[in-house]
Structures are given as structure tokens and as C-alpha cells.
Amino acid sequence: MSTLLEVSGVSKTFDGFKAINNLSFRIGRRELRAVIGPNGAGKTTFMDIVTGKTRPDSGTVLYGDKGQSLLAMSESRIAQAGIGRKFQRPTVFEDQTVRENLTMALDGSRGPFAVLWSRATREAAHRVAELAGEIGLDGTLDRKAGELSHGQKQWLEIGMLLAQNPKLLLVDEPAAGMTPAEREHTTDILVEAAKTRAVVVVEHDMEFVRRLNCKVTVLHEGSVLAEGSIDHVTADEKVIEVYLGR
Ligand code: ADP
């Protein structure tokens, strides 16, 4: 699988504490990857570094066909280059309908000339309907986002990110607070999204990770402790000791 993101020897210290410690790993172009690890393992700091919110003290983060360094790019340039991030809490526009939320996200992805493209075009309406289908909200297009369930809001936000057509989507604990049925649907959305892009899911819920059925990276003290299938990493003695607390 060709590489989309390559993190090599990255370290980050906060007030003498090594949050990320010589971290190295690669993400493929159309890969679904789960990142797990106990609290304080460095998962958030890792995402902050990839999105340019935090700069590492050392190491390299290369991205895309040409292996462009993300460390030389601003947060907004990194986003423009196709790296999207979904935070834990959904940030949809509650007073707007699902259709309007998705349309705004599409417009946003068109840059300063969005107005010429116009939200009224048939192309936009078609893409909005398509996106709604991808996230399973095609029946709720005219409902206000504020009326949606927690799970539906999470899906809408994923849809808004997909509208921007990212090459790499970072998703922070998508299953938190969801019912089992909602979790299952979230799995389907992420698996489908990873067919055309890379998706990295940071998650605590082992059952959710198991259902994603993808390679898992276990972080501990800012480094990769284990990597492989969920069965492989959960059978690893080191993982059992630090993550499962046995
Ligand atoms: P995780 O997301 O896996 O729980 P984090 O990346 O949030 O881990 O944190 C790793 C460690 O780095 C934690 O001990 C945390 O307290 C510390 N840390 C993270 N960000 C900062 C910061 N801005 N200032 C000081 N310490 C930080």
C-alpha cells in the first residue's frame, strides 16, 4: 500500500514531560487505522502534530505523493492539503437543516469562489444528497441539526468533513456516547469512507475497534507499543500489562 503519511522519530516534550517519544509509523493512502492507548498515551498530541496545532521538538512528518513536510505548513495549509479532523464533540450548526449544514461544508470546500458555484446548483444538490446517503441521513435532510440524536449529529459532522473530500481523516472517539446500533452504523460509515481515503480512528472502545476490522496501533508513553490486528495486539503481553491493566 503506498504511503500517505509518514511519521518518523517524532518527539514532543511539555514542561519536561515526554508526551510523544520517538514516534514512528506510516498510514497508507486508503487505509483504515485504529489508534488506541491509555489516557495520556499521546493520542491527542499525535493528532495535534499531524494537523499542525502542535509542533514537535524533533522528527519528521511527511505527507502526500511528494512527501511534503507538514512541519513547514500552517494549520490552515494542512487542512487545505486534505487533512480533516473530527473532534469528539460534534460541532454542527444546530439551527440549520442537515441539507444546509452539508451545503455549507461543500461551499467551504470550494474556497473563495463558492458563490459563483452557488449552493443552488444541481451539482451541489446532487452531491449533498449523495453525502446524506453516505452517512445514512437521507431521510432527515430537512430537519434542523439541533433536532438530531447525538449519533446523527456525529454522522452529520463526518458528512461535513467528507464534503471537503479529505485525503486523510482523523476521527477522535466517534463511538463515545452512542447506542450499540449507532456504533454499528458509525463503523459502516468509516469503513466506507476509508475506501477512497485514509481514515485514522482514535478510540477507547475495544469492541468498536474490533468491528472496524483494521490494523491497530497501540500507543503508550508516546511511542508505538504494538501494531497489528486487534487479536494480535490484545494478545500482546506488553499491551495486556499497560492497556488492559492486568
Ligand atoms: P491521550 O490523548 O492519549 O490521552 P495526550 O496526547 O492528551 O494523551 O497527552 C499526553 C500527555 O501530554 C499527557 O500526560 C498530557 O498531560 C500531556 N500534555 C498534552 N498536551 C499538553 C500541553 N499543552 N501542556 C502540557 N502537557 C500536555
For residue 151, which amino acid is it?
G
ipTM reported for the complex, 2 dp:
0.94
Nearest CA to ligand 1 atom 15: 40
Q: What is the mean pLDDT of residues 130-139?
A: 95
Measured in Å, residue 52 CA sits from the centre of ligand 1 at 15
For residue 175, which amino acid is it?
A
pLDDT of res. 135: 96
Atom of ligand 1 nearest to the CA of 46: 6
Q: What is the mean pLDDT of residues 207-234?
A: 95
Could you tell me if 117 and 147 lie in one domain? yes
pLDDT of res. 22: 97
Could you tell me if 97 and 108 lie in one domain? yes
87 within some domain = no
Could you tell me if 102 and 72 lie in one domain? no
Which range has the worst mean pLDDT, 2-16, 96-110, 182-196? 96-110
Could you tell me if 34 and 59 lie in one domain? yes
Tell whether the model's pLDDT for residue 228 goes beyond 70. Answer: yes
Helices (H), 110-245: 114-117, 122-134, 150-163, 180-193, 206-212, 230-234, 237-242
pTM, to two decimals: 0.93
Could you tell me if 76 and 176 lie in one domain? yes
The CATH number assigned to the domain holding 234 equals 3.40.50.300
Confidence band for 111, pLDDT divided at 50, 70 and 90: low
98 within some domain = yes
Tell whether the model's pLDDT for residue 119 goes beyond 90. Answer: no
* Residues 203, 205, 206, 210, CA torsion sign: negative
Confidence band for 116, pLDDT divided at 50, 70 and 90: low
From 12, 13, 17, give the residue whose CB has the most ligand 1 atoms within 8 Å, as the site to mutate: 17
In the chain, the number of structural domains is: 2
Tell whether the model's pLDDT for residue 182 goes beyond 90. Answer: yes
Q: What is the mean pLDDT of residues 37-61?
A: 96
Tell whether the model's pLDDT for residue 126 goes beyond 70. Answer: yes
pLDDT of res. 231: 95
The residue segments making up the domain with residue 132 are 92-163
Q: How many helices (H) and strands (E) does the chain have?
A: 10, 10
Among 163, 187, 208, which residue terminates a domain?
A: 163
Could you tell me if 74 and 178 lie in one domain? yes
**Mean pLDDT over the full length of the chain:** 92
Could you tell me if 116 and 150 lie in one domain? yes
Could you tell me if 23 and 58 lie in one domain? yes
Distance between CA atoms of residues 61 and 69, nearest Å: 6
